[in-house]
Amino acid sequence: MSSRKPLPDLVAVWEIALSDGVHKVEFEHGTTTGKRAIYVDDQEIFRKEWMFKLVGKEDFAIGKQKVKGTINIDACSGFAYEYTLEVQGKSLKKFIENKNKTSKAWTLVLSGRDTRIVLEKDTMDIWCNGEKMETAGEFTDEGTETHFEVGDHSCYVKAISSGNRKSGIIHTLYVDDRLIPD
């Protein structure tokens, strides 16, 4: 629970799942003062006071990988505004669709702790609870295995062909030689 003061001019909140974790982005916009403030994971990362131009955009970085975020502020009608978030130059919806194609995430409990493991399919990088893991790749008769350790648990992601061009490669996670369901 955050001990941060409430944000009086809070106008938008988004959650973005990246390889290094799920990040919360909050945006404050004072329509009388022109104030703009951006918070990522409850930390203020940007603030401007007394701006005369109430529309525009603000760029900022999200997470350990410094993924580019942009908040667009557009006038709707009268003194109403619309706030949209772009991630890596794409609308949030398009970014999420693309991320779902290029990564795979599993959540499980390991040693009594909630654990989130993410595979970046394009680079075969593996992240666990926000930390990039040291990995070792191995070719097998069925495909490849990418091995890594989480604490005292031996883990690997197995990549095998689905046999169907449209489905592509199937990625499965094993922890201590047990298959982890999607």
Domain ranges of the chain: 10-88, 102-180
Whole-structure pTM value: 0.77
| Percent of the chain with pLDDT strictly greater than 70 | 97
- What fold characterizes domain 102-180? Lipocalin (2.40.128)
Q: How confident is the model at residue 79 (pLDDT cuts 50, 70, 90)?
A: confident
pLDDT digits (tens, 9 = 90+) for 90-129: 999 999 888 888 999 999 999 899 999 999 998 899 999 9
CA 54 vs. chain centroid, Å, equals: 28
Q: What is the mean pLDDT of residues 33-41?
A: 90
Give residues with Cβ within 8 angstroms of 31, minimum separation 6: 9, 54, 79, 81
DSSP characters for 59-121?
EEEETTTTEEEEEEEEE-STT-EEEEEEETTEEHHHHHHHHHHHEEEEEEEETTEEEEEEEET
Nearest CA-CA partner of 12 in 65, 61, 74, 89: 74
* Percentage of the residues of the chain whose pLDDT score is greater than 90: 64
- Both structure tokens of 149: 């350790």
Q: How is residue 44 written in tokens? A: 């203020």
* Mean pLDDT score across all residues of the chain: 90
**Rounded distance between C-alpha atoms, residue 97 and residue 126, angstroms:** 20
CATH 2.40.128.180 for domain 10-88, yes or no, is yes
pLDDT category at 55 given cuts 50, 70, 90 is: confident
CB 156 within 8 A of CB 144: no
In angstroms, the CA 56 to CA 165 distance is 43
Q: Which of 49-58, 81-90, 125-134, 147-156 has the lowest mean pLDDT?
A: 49-58
